[in-house]
Amino acid sequence: MPLRSIGGRSEPDPVERPPSLEQLLTKVARGDQKAFAALYHRVAGSVFGLVKRVVRDPAQSEEVTQEVFVELWRTAARFDPDRGSALSWVMTTAHRRAVDRVRSAQRAVEREDMAGRRGQERPYDEVAEQVESRLEREQVRHALDSLTDLQREAVTLAYYGGYTYREVAELLDVPLGTIKTRLRDGLIRMRDHLGVQT
């Protein structure tokens, strides 16, 4: 042990205390790698323990602990000793990172769950549209049933077969004027049956 002389007597030098965490963080803020290594050795166990309690998975806890120390290296200059102790600041950083990891994992699970459900369920709008379309077809079928046979035949050829009025007249071997009358009367009857307002 080194000795120093006081009034002719030799006394041991006082034991040099290790720097406080606050002092280490101040040095880390200036880019001091030795101070960072010392900080790491002093708090790594506590940081890992806290992170593991929150994250629970050991491998992810190691990753988060590394992220915490990267963040401490980058943000050490933000530490303000007037707002709390260095240990408190380090542990708050660790806790925040751990909670972020858990939330991120939960969001990933929820996204996968939603994607899985989306693949199984048809969207409401698609189902509603199909129901509405089916109802409309049923109503039109009932309206067609309300027509006379001659009207139904003319309407079916013109509107479902895609034929022109002249082609319908030729197919049925009926004068064009008669076909126009059957179509007009048939469409008026269908409109009335469907309750369409004009």
Report CA Rg, the chain: 42
The highest-level CATH class for domain 21-120 is: mainly alpha
Helix crossing, 124-145 with 176-194: angle to 10°? 130
Of 32-46, 120-134, 156-170, which gets the smallest average pLDDT? Answer: 120-134
Token duo for residue 126: 């698609």
Token duo for residue 121: 């369920």
Token duo for residue 185: 């009367």
Between the CA of residue 6 and those of 10, 13, 15, what are the distances in Å? 6, 11, 16
The highest-level CATH class for domain 124-194 is: mainly alpha
Query: For the whole model, what pTM was predicted?
Result: 0.53
- Which residues belong to CATH 1.10.1740.10 in the chain? 21-120
Residue 51: closest CA among 66, 64, 41, 39:
64
**Count of C-beta atoms within a 10 Å radius of residue 194:** 13
Over residues 55-107, the pLDDT tens digits come to 999 999 999 999 999 999 999 999 998 988 999 999 999 999 999 999 988 88
Q: Which residue, chain included where needed, has tokens 């303000």?
A: 80
Average pLDDT over residues 109-119: 78
- Which residues belong to CATH 1.10.10.10 in the chain? 124-194
Residue 16 has φ and ψ, to the nearest 5°, of -75, 125
